Amino acid sequence: MVHEKLIRSIQRFAQEAMNARQVARRLESLLPLRLKEVERRFRGEIPVAEAQRKALCDKTYLDFVEEYSAIHGDAITGRVQYETHMMLFEARRSLRKRV
């Protein structure tokens, strides 16, 4: 990989990981609110515990959790890519110092 392309890749992966991490944090903070919204729909004549169980299995809530998981996975993937490219950059730099 050419040095300039490596630098661009490092910057791109760092930016993508940071953006995905921010979105994932926001979605994570919304998880309890979404669960309560879904739980409210089930409340009525059934006990609270049963409404909670139904809310946890509700498709709407599960879709939200799936979205959070996908974005969080993207953040982790971006971070791994960033760190891997940085290791390559540092390895090349240390080799240049020895020459």
pLDDT tens-place string over residues 31-44: 999 999 999 998 88
Region of 46 (left: φ > 0; alpha: ψ -120 to 50; beta: rest) is beta
pTM: 0.81
User: What's the pLDDT tens digit per position in 51-68?
Assistant: 999 999 999 999 999 999
The answer on pLDDT for 99 being more than 70 is: no
- Sign of the Cα pseudo-torsion (59, 65, 69, 71, in order): positive
